[in-house]
Amino acid sequence: MSWTKADGAKIKITFDRPIVSGQAGQQSFFTVTVPEYTFVPGGTLQNVTKTVKSTYALAGVQQTLDLSAGTLTDTAVSNGVLSLGGA
Amino acid sequence: MANYANLQAAIDAGITNMTAKRNNSKNDDNTDTIATGITWFYFNSVQVTNLYVSGNSWIGFGASSEHLKVNRRDAAVWYEYTETGTIGTYKFLKLRWVGYSHFNYTDDVHLQQYDVFVLDTGQIYLNWFDVPTASFDGVNALVCGSNTTSFAATAGAVCEYTFTPSDAATGTGWSVASGRPNLVVDHKTSGSAIFTATGITGTMAASSIGWTESKPDGTTLTVSVSTDGTNYSSVTNGGALLMAGTVLDNATIYIKVEMATTDATVTPTLSNLSISLQSAEDRYSIVLEMQPLERFESAAGNITVAYAGGSLMGEGGPVAAFTQSFSPSDLAYKGDQNDAEHIEMSVTATGTLTRIYYIDMAPQDMGHIEISSITATGTLTNVNDL
d(CA B30, CA B53): 8
d(CA B165, CA B123): 7
Interchain contact A20–B (C-beta under 8 A): yes
* Chain B residue at shortest CA distance from A15: B284
Tell me the DSSP string of B31-92.
EEEEE---SS-EETTEE--EEEEETTSEEEESSSS--EEEEESS-EEEEEEEEEEEETTEEE
Radius of gyration of chain B (CA): 34
**In terms of pLDDT, which residue wins out, B206 or B42?**
B42
Give the distance from residue B315's alpha carbon to the nearest chain A alpha carbon, in angstroms: 6
Q: Do A36 and B5 touch (CB under 8 A)?
A: no
Is B270 in contact with A81 (CB distance < 8 Å)?
yes
The per-residue pLDDT for A66 is 92
d(CA B286, CA A55): 7
Residue B14 has pLDDT above 90, yes or no: yes
Residue B260 has pLDDT above 80, yes or no: yes
Residues 222..261 of B with a Cβ closer than 8 Å to A: which? Answer: 255, 257, 259-261
d(CA B161, CA B158): 11
Interchain contact B297–A (C-beta under 8 A): yes
Give the distance from residue A47's alpha carbon to the nearest chain B alpha carbon, in angstroms: 9
Per CB-CB distance under 8 Å, the chain B contacts of A45 are 300-301
The per-residue pLDDT for A87 is 72
Contacts of B157 (CB under 8 A, 6+ apart): B131
**In terms of pLDDT, which residue wins out, A5 or B62?**
B62
Give the distance from residue A2's alpha carbon to the nearest chain B alpha carbon, in angstroms: 8
**In terms of pLDDT, which residue wins out, B54 or B363?**
B54
Interchain contact A40–B (C-beta under 8 A): no
d(CA A6, CA B89): 53
Give the distance from residue B47's alpha carbon to the nearest chain A alpha carbon, in angstroms: 27
d(CA B150, CA B190): 43
The per-residue pLDDT for B163 is 96
pLDDT classification of B370: cutoffs 50, 70, 90: very low
B313 closest CB neighbour out of A22, A31, A65: A22
Q: Among B296, B303, B331, B337, which would you mutate to test the A interface (most chain A Cβ atoms within 10 Å of its Cβ)?
A: B296
Cβ neighbours around B134 below 10 Å, total? 16
Q: Do B332 and A5 touch (CB under 8 A)?
A: yes
A27 backbone dihedrals φ, ψ, rounded to 5°: -60, -35
Interchain contact B288–A (C-beta under 8 A): yes
Which of A37-46, B208-217, B218-227, B236-245 has the lowest average pLDDT? A37-46
Mean pLDDT of all residues belonging to chain B: 86
SS3 of B252, please? strand
Interchain contact A44–B (C-beta under 8 A): no
Q: With pLDDT > 90 as the criterion, what percentage of chain B qualifies? A: 63
Residue B375 has pLDDT above 80, yes or no: no
* Chain B residue at shortest CA distance from A72: B193
Residues 50..79 of A with a Cβ closer than 8 Å to B: which? Answer: 50-67, 69-79
Interchain contact A24–B (C-beta under 8 A): no
C-alpha pair distances (Å), B51 with each of A18, B35, B57, B60, B262: 66, 6, 13, 6, 40
Tell me the DSSP string of B187-210.
B-SEEEEEEEEEEEEEEEEEEEEE
Interchain contact B373–A (C-beta under 8 A): no
Is B158 in contact with B129 (CB distance < 8 Å)?
yes
Q: With pLDDT > 70 as the criterion, what percentage of chain B qualifies? A: 85
**In terms of pLDDT, which residue wins out, B348 or A9?**
A9
The dihedral through the CA atoms of B73, B74, B78, B81 has a sign that is positive
d(CA B163, CA B183): 13
Interchain contact A26–B (C-beta under 8 A): yes
Per CB-CB distance under 8 Å, the chain A contacts of B342 are none
Give the distance from residue B73's alpha carbon to the nearest chain A alpha carbon, in angstroms: 35
Is B54 in contact with B139 (CB distance < 8 Å)?
no
Q: Do B257 and A63 touch (CB under 8 A)?
A: no
B111-119 vs B159-167, strand pairing mode: unpaired
Q: Do B312 and A34 touch (CB under 8 A)?
A: no
pLDDT classification of B354: cutoffs 50, 70, 90: very low
Is B170 in contact with B164 (CB distance < 8 Å)?
no
Interchain contact A42–B (C-beta under 8 A): no
Residues 12..41 of B with a Cβ closer than 8 Å to A: which? Answer: 12-13, 16-17
Give the distance from residue B76's alpha carbon to the nearest chain A alpha carbon, in angstroms: 31
The per-residue pLDDT for B80 is 98
Radius of gyration of chain A (CA): 24
Mean pLDDT of all residues belonging to chain A: 83
pLDDT digits (tens, 9 = 90+) for B320-345: 999 998 887 666 655 554 444 444 44
Interchain contact B329–A (C-beta under 8 A): no
Cβ neighbours around B232 below 10 Å, total? 18
Give the distance from residue A65's alpha carbon to the nearest chain B alpha carbon, in angstroms: 6
Rounded to two decimals, what is the model's pTM?
Answer: 0.52
d(CA B172, CA B122): 9
Over residues B63-83, mean pLDDT? 97
> Would the ipTM clear 0.85, i.e. be above it?
no
C-alpha pair distances (Å), B222 with each of B9, B97, B233, B256: 22, 41, 11, 8
d(CA B331, CA B301): 11
Q: Among B89, B253, B287, B338, which would you mutate to test the A interface (most chain A Cβ atoms within 10 Å of its Cβ)?
A: B287
Residue B359 has pLDDT above 60, yes or no: no
CA-nearest of B182, B88, B291 to A76 is: B88
Over residues B201-210, mean pLDDT? 86
